[in-house]
Amino acid sequence: MMGGLGRIDGVVEALEMFRMMSRKGVRIDSISLSAVLSVCAKGGEYDEFGCYENGDRLLRNVVLGEQIHGLAFKLGFERDLYLSNSLLDMYAKNGIMKSAEMVFHTLGKPSVVSWNIMIAGYGQKGNSGKAIECFQRMQFSGFKPDAVTYINMLAACIKCGDVDTARQMFDNMSCPSVISWNAIISGYSQNENHREAIDLFREMQFQSVKPDRTTVTVILGSCAGMAFLEGGKQVHAALQKAALHTDNYVAGGLIGMYSKCGKIERAEHIFSSMPELDIVCWNSMIAGLTLNSLNREAFMLFKQMRQGRMLPTEFSYATVLSCCTKLSSLFQGRQVHSQIVKDGYESDVFVGTALVDMYCKCGDIDGARKHFDMMPVRNIVTWNEMIHGYAQNGYGDQAVHLYEDMIASGAKPDAVTFIAVLTACSHSGLVDLGFRIFNSMKSEHGIDPELDHYTCIIDCLSRAGHFHDAELLMEKMPYRDDPIVWEVVLSSCRVHGNVSLAQQAAEELFRLDPESSTPYVLLANIYSSLGRWNDVRVIRELMSEKQIVKDPGYSWTEHKEQDTCLFVG
Ligand SMILES: *[C@@H]1O[C@H](CO)[C@@H](O)[C@H](O)[C@H]1NC(C)=O
Ligand SMILES: *[C@@H]1O[C@H](CO)[C@@H](O)[C@H](O)[C@H]1NC(C)=O
């Protein structure tokens, strides 16, 4: 009875049943304890976002589970393997891996089931390293993995984005279910390996496994990712045959596929012929319009959706805010903002970050900061957007201040943070500060500078005329052979009239990128700014001799300053 109640989510009823049983003095055996433990394991399962659905329920379950654990010990069942596995399962499902490990170590002889529970527990926590370690230890102790082991390992690896290991597990399954197929296919799709996702989809059909709505939606995503319109159309046709095309979830995938392949009319046709629209369809259609630069239309559709009393999700707000950004329409952005407040999404970190981004990109940096300060929770993207906003709007000092606030608040900067703050230093001429921050990347924050970071700091140093420091850094850096760094140096040489270094940089560029006209143009510009017309002529002759054609983006007289360090978010 308890087991049955547990299975249909009658958690409270099952626990009541257990109390009644104790009160009536019925002898409690290991089967009844296991049944009630499985009920305690139930509430702890994660929702689709990997969060516990309900913190209170979790706590209650763990407290109860621990009581049952104590009771089992008192009744002398600690050697019962079946019961021990139920205990393991209860702790693992509730995410208390420390307690699960303790129970595991007291097992005299674990079974395959015990190992499987441990692997699933680690997988659920996103700790694929531990799951793999368990998997190896299990085999080392002489156990042969079974079907469940492979399924649990597959799930663990996919959750952590380790598709290669996941594939090994998948290949060892004798008869994978559609769920396992979906797991591996969406693993590839999420890793942008669309080719492999589509190949597996074919393979799945060869093996007569019937795809379900999840499979086709993932495949539509992969067709979109590859701009493989023909494939998408084939899936569409198959869906119509199977009468699955009016499924909201699938329709969302179709709308996304057609919009990403540039067939916005077909997407709109599907959208308008749906008998009933849910939020997935609306979101796909709005995002599709934005993707095709139909930002005004996307904004109108969002309004229409609100008028139809459909409640937007975080994703809808982020999409429509990006429309406002692209339209440079602060007015519309503010309208959406007040909508967000009305709908009660203001304190959502994802939506809030999109708002900060919108205000920054529309040039209302004070508005962005005001909202930033009001946000109850910020994540790394929020900080990065705000710092980057200051940098792009020319407020270098503020960007650095905010970066320092961020460090003081205990938030951990990432590679993108440093691009933002170094860009700020470069644009505002904060050389010493920039250099200090650059040097702290590895020593204080454990982040290896990448090409973009080097480019930023070298840009910063050479813009300020600190050519010697820039050279020292370039000698040490691993990206010496990347043209972008030399281009940055060459541009600054013009500003400072440093002919000798300019010549050296140009030589490097001739070597690294012989086809490019950039170094010729930049060098000629330096000579002409110094009135060295003879040298200018030599360069032009060299160019025609080597048949280098001037890139139309570069002008002979003015080399427009490039923003070398961009892209946050
Ligand atoms: C898959 O099975 C083969 C043969 O049974 C075995 O040699 C191999 O180690 C297994 N791979 C994994 C990842 O378990
Ligand atoms: C030009 O750059 C070199 C480093 O290569 C430096 O020593 C020199 O002082 C610079 N000259 C000017 C005018 O900035």
Domain boundary among 465, 480, 495: 480
Residues with C-beta less than 6 Å from any ligand 2 atom: 465, 467-468, 471, 496, 498, 500-501
User: How would residue 561 be classed by pLDDT, with cut points 50, 70 and 90?
Assistant: very low
Sequence-distant (6+) residues with CB within 8 A of 424 are: 387, 390, 391, 395, 396, 399, 400, 403, 430
Share of the chain above pLDDT 70, in %: 94
Residues 1 and 104 in one domain: yes
Q: Is residue 233 part of a domain?
A: no
Average pLDDT over residues 486-490: 92
Residues 501 and 437 in one domain: no
Residues 474 and 486 in one domain: no
Question: Ligand 2 centroid to 555 CA: how many Å?
Answer: 25
Q: Is residue 429 part of a domain?
A: yes
Instruction: Classify 495 as helix, strand or coil.
Output: helix
The tens digit of pLDDT for each residue in 208-227 reads 898 899 999 999 999 999 99
Q: DSSP letters along 402-424, please?
A: HHHHHHHTTPPP-HHHHHHHHHH
Q: What is the pLDDT of residue 558?
A: 34
User: How would residue 54 be classed by pLDDT, with cut points 50, 70 and 90?
Assistant: low
Question: Ligand 1 centroid to 144 CA: how many Å?
Answer: 10
Which segment, 62-66, 431-435, 475-479, is predicted with the most confidence on average? 431-435
Other CB atoms within a 10 A radius of the CB of residue 207 amount to: 10
Share of the chain above pLDDT 90, in %: 66
Is the pLDDT assigned to residue 395 strictly greater than 90?
Answer: yes
Nearest atom, ligand 2, residue 468 CA: 4
Q: Is residue 307 part of a domain?
A: no
Residues 76 and 55 in one domain: yes
Q: How many CA atoms lie within 13 A of 150 on its CB side?
A: 19
Mutate to test the pocket of ligand 2, among 466, 472, 486, 501 (most ligand atoms within 8 A of CB): 501
Q: Is residue 26 part of a domain?
A: yes
Q: Is residue 502 part of a domain?
A: yes
Other CB atoms within a 10 A radius of the CB of residue 313 amount to: 17
Q: Whose CA is nearest to atom 12 of ligand 2?
A: 498
Nearest atom, ligand 2, residue 500 CA: 1
Residues 458 and 507 in one domain: no
User: How would residue 515 be classed by pLDDT, with cut points 50, 70 and 90?
Assistant: confident
Residues 474 and 515 in one domain: no
Residues 561 and 487 in one domain: yes
Sequence-distant (6+) residues with CB within 8 A of 370 are: none
Residues 476 and 490 in one domain: no
Place of tokens 């960007």: 399
Residues 411 and 497 in one domain: no
Q: What is the pLDDT of residue 100?
A: 94
Place of tokens 């087991």: 3
Residues 567 and 463 in one domain: no
Residues 539 and 488 in one domain: yes
Q: Is residue 48 part of a domain?
A: yes
Mean of per-residue pLDDT scores for the chain: 89
The tens digit of pLDDT for each residue in 38-48 reads 888 875 554 43
Domain boundary among 432, 458, 480: 480
Instruction: Tell me the residue type at 94.
Output: N
Q: Is residue 285 part of a domain?
A: no
CA 182-186-187 angle, 5° bins: 115
Q: Is residue 103 part of a domain?
A: yes
Domain boundary among 425, 460, 480: 480
Provide the domain limits for residue 88: 1-109
User: How would residue 109 be classed by pLDDT, with cut points 50, 70 and 90?
Assistant: confident
Instruction: Classify 155 as helix, strand or coil.
Output: helix
Is the pLDDT assigned to residue 50 strictly greater than 50?
Answer: no
Residues 437 and 498 in one domain: no
- State the sign of the Cα–Cα–Cα–Cα dihedral 21, 42, 279, 49: positive
Q: Whose CA is nearest to atom 7 of ligand 2?
A: 468
User: How would residue 320 be classed by pLDDT, with cut points 50, 70 and 90?
Assistant: very high
Q: In the chain, how many domains are there?
A: 3
